[in-house]
Chain A
Amino acid sequence: MHLNLAVNYTAVILLAAALFVIGLYGVLTRKSAIGILLSLELMSMAIMINLITMGHFVNPSPLNSWFFTIFLMVIVASEVGIGLALIIAIYRSNHTSEVDDLDRLKG
Chain B
Amino acid sequence: MLNTIAFLVLGCAIILGAFSVVTVKNVMHAAYWLLEVAVAVAGLFYFMSAEYIAILQLLVYAGAVGMLLVFTVMITRRSRIDNERPAAFSLFALLASALLFAALAYGVLQSPTFAVRAAPATVSMLTFGRTLFSTDGWVLAFEIASLLLTVALVAAVWWTKDRDD
Contacts and interface: CB of A to CB of B under 8 A. Distances in A.
Partners in one complex: yes
Interface of A: 1-15, 17-26, 28-32, 34-35, 37-39, 41-42, 45, 48-49, 52-53, 55-63, 66-67, 69-71, 73-82, 84-89, 91, 97-98
A1 B50 contact: no
B56 A3 contact: no
Interface of B: 3-4, 7, 11, 14-15, 18-19, 21-22, 27, 30-31, 34, 37-38, 41, 44-50, 52-53, 56-57, 60-61, 64-65, 68-69, 72-73, 75-77, 82-85, 89-90, 92-94, 96-98, 100-101, 104-105, 108-109, 113-114, 116-121, 123, 127-128, 131-132, 138, 141, 145, 148-149, 151-153, 155-157, 159-160
A25 B89 CA distance: 11
Contact of A66 (B50, B69, B151): B50
A81 B68 contact: yes
A38 B30 contact: yes
Nearest to A28: B93
Given A13-B108, A38-B34, A52-B53, A4 B148 contact: no
B20 to A, nearest CB: 10
Contacts of A38: 21-22, 27, 30-31, 34, 69
Contacts of B50: 52, 55-56, 62, 66, 69
A62 B22 contact: no
Given A25-B96, A52-B48, A52-B50, 16 more contacts: A1-B47, A14-B108, A21-B100, A22-B19, A31-B84, A38-B69, A42-B34, A42-B37, A48-B45, A49-B45, A60-B119, A66-B128, A73-B56, A77-B149, A85-B156, A91-B76
A52 B43 CA distance: 12
B64 A1 contact: no
Contacts of B34: 38, 41-42
A84 B69 CA distance: 7
A6 to B, nearest CB: 7
B97 A21 contact: yes
A2 B46 CA distance: 9
Given A1-B46, A74-B148, A58 B116 contact: yes
A52 B155 contact: no
A91 B159 CA distance: 12
B156 A14 contact: no
